[in-house]
Amino acid sequence: MATREVISNGNELAAKAAIDAGCKFFAGYPLTPSSEVMHELSDLLPKIGGVAIQMEDEIGGICAVIGAAMTGQRALTATSGPGMSLKAENLGLAQMAEVPLVCINVMRGGPSTGLPTRVSQGDVLQAKNPSHGDYKSITLCAGSLAECYTETLRAFNLADRFMQPVIVLLDETIGHMHGKADIPTAEDAKAAIVPRKRFDGDPKDYFPYGVEHDEPAVLNPMFEGYRYHFTGLHHDKNGYPTEEIETCRKLIQRLEDKVELHKDELESYEEFMMDDAEVMIIAYGSVSLAAKESIRHLRKEGIKAGLFRPITIWPSPAEKVKEYTDKIKKVLVVELNIGQYHGEMQRAAARLDIAGLFKVNGRPISPYEIVNKVKEL
**pLDDT digit of tens for each residue in the chain (377 aa)?**
789 999 999 999 999 999 999 999 999 999 999 999 999 999 999 999 999 999 999 999 999 999 999 999 999 999 999 999 999 999 999 999 999 999 999 999 999 999 999 999 999 999 999 999 999 999 999 999 999 999 999 999 999 999 999 999 999 999 999 999 999 999 999 999 999 999 999 999 999 999 999 999 999 999 999 999 999 999 999 999 999 999 999 999 999 999 999 999 999 999 999 999 999 999 999 999 999 999 999 999 999 999 999 999 999 999 999 999 999 999 999 999 999 999 999 999 999 999 999 999 999 999 999 999 999 99
What is the spatial distance between Cα 190 and Cα 211, in angstroms, rounded to a whole number? 28
Instruction: Return the half-sphere exposure (C-beta side, CA atoms, 13 A cut-off) of residue 262.
Output: 18
What pTM did the predictor assign? 0.97
What is the spatial distance between Cα 142 and Cα 168, in angstroms, rounded to a whole number? 7
In the chain, the domains with their CATH numbers are 3-191 (3.40.50.970), 270-376 (3.40.50.920)
Give CA angle at 107 (167, 10), nearest 5°.
Answer: 80
Name which of 119, 197, 115, 131 is nearest 167 in CA terms. 131
What is the DSSP pairing of strand 138-141 with strand 115-119? unpaired
The long-range contacts involving 291-296, CB below 8 angstroms and separated by at least 24 positions, are 291/334, 291/367, 291/370, 293/367, 294/367, 294/368, 294/370, 294/371, 294/374
Q: Are 14 and 37 in contact (CB under 8 A)?
A: yes
Instruction: Return the half-sphere exposure (C-beta side, CA atoms, 13 A cut-off) of residue 328.
Output: 27
